[in-house]
Amino acid sequence: MSARSAVAHTPAPSKRPARALLLEAAARLFYSRGVAATGIDAITAEAGVAKKSLYNNFASKAELVAAYLEARHAEWLELYRRRLENSRNPIERVLAIFDAYADHANGAYLNGFRGCGLLNAAAELPAGAPGRLAVRKHKEEVEELLALHVADLLPGDDPRAAGLARHLAFLLEGAMARAGLEGDDACLKECRMIASRLLADL
Amino acid sequence: MSARSAVAHTPAPSKRPARALLLEAAARLFYSRGVAATGIDAITAEAGVAKKSLYNNFASKAELVAAYLEARHAEWLELYRRRLENSRNPIERVLAIFDAYADHANGAYLNGFRGCGLLNAAAELPAGAPGRLAVRKHKEEVEELLALHVADLLPGDDPRAAGLARHLAFLLEGAMARAGLEGDDACLKECRMIASRLLADL
DNA sequence: AGTTATAGGTAGACTGACCTACCTACTGCC
DNA sequence: GGCAGTAGGTAGGTCAGTCTACCTATAACT
């Protein structure tokens, strides 16, 4: 034994808090491999963090999954917010939502784009699970944002605006599903064109 | 001990072949709980079949999953075929595809409707997996069926027909995703109305 | 008709790997 | 001192997959 401690406790390879490292590692693995297929050990290894740190920050894997879902929701809202900043009229503000989806598709992922992380996670959860509820609320919020901007295009015709918002919401979600299967943003680009034509024809 | 054998080997509670029992049990459990969350033991128990019978009929769980995907594809085609039989013009034949989706939503499931079984399964598979490829092909086939009937509505305008088919495909898939989150066919009914309006406005 | 071979079924033990969750023991920083 | 981190181990369970041993129905042959 030398003068240094016998055990090499890598003390601080990163100064960042364990919680953030864990959330980022979980995001990478949950998205690319799926939630159920990703074990605790894989997450702590990917985060470069001790198992204990996971349970210091989250009561259980389920709680980590809930935090993951919340983070994906917040992440999308941020993509949307940035697109909204550069939008100058109602049509552009509607299309900002489509652009935010395309931005998601063009993010960096371990094994490529694989569709909406929230829908993918929901697909693994049993009916009635809290996580499924959260994803449902997220999708409803997206539709509400669509409805908000569509209402500016159709003042005084609320029913038609709501119908168009729903039409756009279905269109967008379907394109996202197909884009996930194909692994790129082609479907989303096409869907944006379809949407912009719909809006131009008003 | 009586005259009967000491060991009660339930000899034939069902005369049906084990393979069919297994495929049906796997369908129920994979759909309602997810593929990764459903273990071999749960499937054999649900099927009322010995574990050995599973490995007599399928080389591995992965092969059972592949058979499950194929069966869901065939099942949907059958729903569509029946709807097609009662369709008398191109518009009805397009809408037959939407009706087949609604029929899927109104099927009987262990814990309620939870969206498209193929998309849900794909969400659990890593990018590039054979199963994801199969689901992608299924969705492309659905779009081709849409394109087939749309072409009759727009003779001599192939590009517009292809665009409309894609529009309808996205619309339908998005409604299915939302319907799965909500647990009923309301979105699909609404989506059928949107589609029929699009077709009527041609 | 009676015997035998085979195919496909049953129950359940078992292996080795991996799962979640909790634990000890130690360290560096405020 | 106390908090939050480290490394690593362990308990108890479940996973996919293999295996033994036994049972039964059908078909084939003599």
Query: Which chain B residues have a beta carbon less than 8 Å from that of A123?
Result: 34, 115, 119-121, 123-124, 180
Mean pLDDT of A97-117: 97
Distances (CA, A) of B70 to B66, B106, B117, B138: 6, 20, 11, 9
- Tell me, what's the pLDDT at A14? 55
Dihedral in degrees, nearest 10, Cα atoms B38, B44, B45, B50: -160
Q: Do A194 and B135 touch (CB under 8 A)?
A: no
B15 pLDDT more than 80: no
Are the beta carbons of B124 and A194 separated by less than 8 Å? no
Which band of pLDDT confidence, cut at 50, 70 and 90, is reported for residue B106? very high
* CA distance to A34, A94, A101, A166, B68, per residue, from A80 (Å): 25, 10, 8, 18, 38
pLDDT of residue B16: 82
Confidence of residue B17 (pLDDT cuts 50, 70, 90): confident
Are B147 and B170 spatial neighbours (Cβ–Cβ below 8 Å)?
A: no
pLDDT in the model for residue A17: 87
- Nearest CB to A174; choose among B33, B127, B177: B177
pLDDT at residue B142 greater than cutoff 60:
yes
Residue B111: pLDDT band (50, 70, 90) is: very high
A194 interaction partners in chain B (CB closer than 8 Å): 163, 166-167, 170
Beta-carbon neighbour count of residue A60 at 10 Å? Answer: 11
* A30 has pLDDT over 70: yes
Instruction: State the pLDDT confidence band at A202, using cuts at 50, 70 and 90.
Output: confident
Q: Would the pLDDT of A142 be above 70?
A: yes
Distances (CA, A) of A115 to A3, A184, B79, B123: 53, 9, 27, 8
pLDDT band for position A106 (50/70/90)? very high
pLDDT band at A4 (very low <50, low <70, confident <90, very high): very low
**Token output for A51:** 């198992």
Evaluate if pTM is beyond 0.85: yes
